[in-house]
Amino acid sequence: MAVPSPPFSLSKHSPSNPPSFLASNPSLDPSKAPVLRPRNAFGSEANLGGVEQTRLRLWNNLKTNSDLRLQASRELPGLTKELKSDKSERMERVEHGTDLFGEMKQRFLSFKKHKYMQNLELYEKLAKDQAPKFMVIACADSRVCPSSILGFQPGEAFVVRNVANMVPPYENGPSETNAGLEFAVNSLKVENILVIGHSRCGGIRALMSMHDDVETSSLIGSWVSVGMNARVRTKAATKLLNFDQQCKHCEKESVNCSLVNLLTYPWVEEKVRNGELRYSRRLLRLRRLCI
């Protein structure tokens, strides 16, 4: 098959008088293009025809579009300048806190320099094994980090965090919380279990907002229903109080129910009875920061 002829004549753009841009870029002049073997380079003459049509359209566009000529003629220094500018902008975002992952990296490097390198002996020991004395069950709320509030150092506490700091009863079956409980008590041999509740807990508000005798398809609702006994007790004791006051009461009652649920685990109950394990509760008030 013959290559289709271009839809216009190239005679008025002879090589002796090409457009100014093409004069400095002869490789774009189709009249100076190298001869290609269709079947070797493109597989068929039809494909070659399509490529030639594209080259001719590009050549014609370069003559009439000044913006396209400007973009096509940009040199490497311009691109390098753009990359440097982008790097500067990224560094500026880190400085202003908008590059959050970059900020996390800087925090890690600071920790490594000021904590890790200053306590190499401790961290080398922890790399081999851990023997925490405490298991802490706390809420996943971003405002109540146990290590920050109680000053736990690496290796001192095995921490499990979930929505509303709940401990499901043994008969409820497997969950990440009771898996952590089993590991802490039976493998790590912790000596103390501390359940920490807190004020203004969103999980407790979700529990208190649930409708009676209505099953929920919400994952949050399914989880906080672990505290249904706390909700029932709260409703019975606070009928005349407003919703916020009821939630405040339930925050305490939920922690109490979690302690009761702890003793439904046979190996927890046995160790408590033998004096090998102690358990306690705390409630953190966020506004006044008191326990």
Asked if residue 145 belongs to a known ligand binding site, the reply is no
- Residue 89's pLDDT is what? 64
For range 22-49, the mean pLDDT: 49
Higher pLDDT, 103 or 270: 270
Asked if residue 290 belongs to a known ligand binding site, the reply is no
pLDDT at 57 over 60: yes
pLDDT at 67 over 90: no
Q: In percent, how much of the chain has pLDDT > 90?
A: 53
3-state secondary structure of 215: coil
pLDDT at 258 over 70: yes
Report d(CA 182, CA 189) in Å as an integer: 10
Report d(CA 234, CA 201) in Å as an integer: 15
State the chain's mean pLDDT as an integer.
80
Q: Using pLDDT thresholds of 50, 70 and 90, give the confidence band for residue 90.
A: low
Cβ neighbours of residue 157 closer than 8 Å, sequence gap 6 or more: 132, 133, 134, 135, 136, 146, 147, 150
Q: Using pLDDT thresholds of 50, 70 and 90, give the confidence band for residue 275.
A: very high
Q: What is the pLDDT of residues 25-37, one digit of tens each?
A: 554 454 554 444 4
DSSP state of 185: I
**Tokens 């006044």, located at residue:** 288
Give strand pairing partners of 281: 195
pLDDT at 54 over 80: no
- Residue 216's pLDDT is what? 76
Asked if residue 139 belongs to a known ligand binding site, the reply is yes
Q: Using pLDDT thresholds of 50, 70 and 90, give the confidence band for residue 55.
A: low
Asked if residue 13 belongs to a known ligand binding site, the reply is no
| CB-CB contact of 241 with 249 (8 Å) | yes
Give the HSE-up count for residue 86: Cα atoms under 13 Å, Cβ half-sphere: 6
Q: Using pLDDT thresholds of 50, 70 and 90, give the confidence band for residue 7.
A: very low
DSSP state of 285: B
Q: What is the pLDDT of residues 142-156, one digit of tens each?
A: 999 999 999 999 999
Report d(CA 144, CA 291) in Å as an integer: 12
Give strand pairing partners of 198: 284
Q: What is the pLDDT of residues 174-208, one digit of tens each?
A: 999 999 999 999 999 999 999 999 999 999 999 99
